[in-house]
Amino acid sequence: MKNNETLITLEGLEELKRELEELKLVKRKEISEKIKAALAFGDISENAEYDEAKNEQASVEARIAKLEQMIKNAKIINTTKKNGVVTIGSKVRIKDLEFDEEMEYTIVGSAEADPFKGKISNVSPLGEALLEKKPGDIIEVESPAGGKIRYKILTV
């Protein structure tokens, strides 16, 4: 993988494009209105509303630039199944062997990783450990607190 490539699923790319459109067409306009309103208060040297709006504008513009770069360098992940082996794009059900808990994750590129939505990055410790494994395999992942966590792959 080239350093500037953004590994992403087709669904993830569409999500980035929607976010970019929202920021450009809606958020920019909202911030512009906030700046106009803040300027109406007069002196900008002690105008917290103006400072806040300008900070928000800088943040949005930085996100727009980042999204544009990610979209420009997007490399769509091939999500076709590979004989029951975990690859980027696979949905994997695993079991924590210590706590007897089952979890389901989709392995994605780091650009669209969102653990709260069950999407983990292929470069995360768990994602990396799962790659190229198959149902029945047991993997060990280093815990952030130290020690190892053992998982059994149930389904791919």
pLDDT tens track for 17-56:
999 999 999 999 999 999 998 888 777 777 888 999 999 9
Q: What is the pLDDT of residue 82?
A: 67
Q: Average the pLDDT over each of 4-8, 79-83, 151-155 and give the range with the smallest value.
A: 79-83
Exposure string (b/e) for 95-117, b if CB count within 10 Å is 16 or more?
Answer: beeeeeeeeebbbbbebbbeeee
The overall pTM is greater than 0.75:
no
CATH number for the region 91-155 comes to 3.10.50.30
Q: Is the pLDDT of residue 1 over 50?
A: no
Q: Is the pLDDT of residue 83 over 50?
A: yes
Local confidence band at 114 (pLDDT 50, 70, 90 cut-offs): very high
Ordered alpha helix ranges (H), 23-124: 28-39, 48-72
CATH number for the region 6-76 comes to 1.10.287.180
Q: What is the pLDDT of residue 58?
A: 97
- pLDDT tens-digit profile of 64-82? 999 999 999 998 887 666 6
Q: Is the pLDDT of residue 116 over 80?
A: yes
Q: What is the pLDDT of residue 18?
A: 97
Q: Sort strands 148-155 and 138-142 into parallel, antiparallel or unpaired.
A: antiparallel
In the chain, what are the domain boundaries? 6-76, 91-155
